[in-house]
Amino acid sequence: MRYCEKYGRMDCELEKLGVEAPHQPCYKAFVDYCLSNLLEIASGGYSTVKHEFDPKTGEEKIVVIYDPPTAVGDGYSKEISLEKVHSKLELTYLAVREALYGVKEDE
């Protein structure tokens, strides 16, 4: 489900010309309006997700952030590259799994 190499390349070319082009709106909208609400509800308000896009490389990913109400520093974040995801259902599964069952990177 790569963001679309042609869009990534086009964004790089446009950026060289000084034109700012928005990224793929369908996955950003899905992450912002559906997946983020689902994770917040499923985790009791302790997990959030955000969409990130690097126009220079064309890489699109989501970042799942878990911030429990316990001690400071107990939270973590996990990046999921959209290059390896094949559908919104798979993306939802991976994000929920990370939000509810993920572990810190150093463990």
Residue 68, number of CB atoms within 10 A of its CB: 12
Asked if 82 and 94 count as a contact pair (C-beta separation under 8 A), the reply is no
Q: Which regions of the chain are under pLDDT 50? A: 1-4, 23, 104-107
Asked if 17 and 70 count as a contact pair (C-beta separation under 8 A), the reply is no
Q: Is 102 helix (H, G, I), strand (E, B) or coil?
A: coil
Per-residue model confidence (pLDDT) at position 18: 66
Cα(48)–Cα(22) distance, rounded to whole angstroms?
Answer: 22
Supply the mean pLDDT for the chain.
74
Read off the tokens for 76: 């973590």
Query: What pTM, to 2 d.p., does this model score?
Result: 0.64
Question: Where in the chain are the domains?
Answer: 5-101
Per-residue model confidence (pLDDT) at position 82: 84
Per-residue model confidence (pLDDT) at position 3: 44
